[in-house]
Amino acid sequence: MEQNDVISNLTEAVVTGNKDDATAYAEKALELGIDPYVAVIDGLAKGMEIMGVKYDNKEAYMPQLMMASNAMYGGMNILTPHLKKEDGEKSAVAIIGSVEGDVHDIGKNLVKTMLTANGFEAIDLGKDVEINDFTDAAIEHQADIISLSTLMTSTMDNMEATIKHIQDQGIRDKVKILIGGAPVTQAFADEVGADGTATDAMEAARLAKELLVDLSDNRWN
């Protein structure tokens, strides 16, 4: 079986919500030496993208979406441990989560995967994360980056409130804050005082690495 077939089968497994296939083709990808990065982005994540469009066009509904995400995670569980980490000194720490009120976490998890693949230690607070929890975790783990996701316009306010809390607790100069998710624009990021945004997980990781450079004088100790 060729690399392209495995990749398209991964996509198909997500679209059809077939977790067994997603797992099997993820294993096949490893067996064939396919870059797990490519298998995640061009295979699994592509399937989720297709499902998002189908949902918008009313060609798919919530149950199919749940099955698709379930299949995606089946494949991710196999591939994630094989994503290459960059060697180096102590990893930079990223606190990551979907903001309070928002249970969407597929995009957030992709951002986590890409941060991990780029050498970050990603501390995942999960979804529907209370405003204070981001600050508490940042202090506890001496974080460099805080990554906030939201997919709903109704929870964008909680993104702003989370950033405000980070400011109020006096740690704003120690962390870089990235925000993202479909409704987030650069204008919104500027308005709420985030350090940046990006439209996909790969860009998110690239931006996080870029922002670390500015932070070098200002780490926790």
Binding residues vs ligand B12 (CB under 6 A):
45, 48, 52, 55-56, 62, 65-66, 69, 101-108, 110-111, 147, 149, 151-154, 178-183, 197-198, 200-201, 204
Report CA-CA distances (Å) from 29 to 23, 43, 78, 97.
Answer: 10, 10, 10, 29
Least Å distance between CB 118 and ligand B12?
A: 13
Nearer to ligand B12, 27 or 128 (CB): 128
Least Å distance between CB 31 and ligand B12?
A: 26
Nearby residues of 136 by Cβ (< 8 Å), 6 or more positions away: none
Nearer to ligand B12, 2 or 75 (CB): 75
For every residue of 27-50, DSSP letters joined together read HHHHHTT--HHHIIIIIIIHHHHH
Least Å distance between CB 1 and ligand B12?
A: 26
The answer to whether 47 touches 14, Cβ cutoff 8 Å, is yes
Least Å distance between CB 201 and ligand B12?
A: 4
Q: Which two tokens stand for residue 221?
A: 């100790």
Nearer to ligand B12, 125 or 198 (CB): 198
The answer to whether 111 touches 97, Cβ cutoff 8 Å, is no
Least Å distance between CB 130 and ligand B12?
A: 14
Instruction: Please report, as a single letter, which amino acid is at residue 176.
Output: K
Tokens 């919530």 appear where?
A: 62
Report CA-CA distances (Å) from 17 to 47, 65, 207.
Answer: 9, 8, 32
Nearer to ligand B12, 78 or 114 (CB): 114
Least Å distance between CB 52 and ligand B12?
A: 3
178: closest CA among 188, 169, 168, 170?
188
What does the alpha-carbon distance between residue 47 and residue 217 come to, in Å, rounded to a whole number? Answer: 41
Nearer to ligand B12, 32 or 154 (CB): 154
Nearer to ligand B12, 33 or 126 (CB): 126
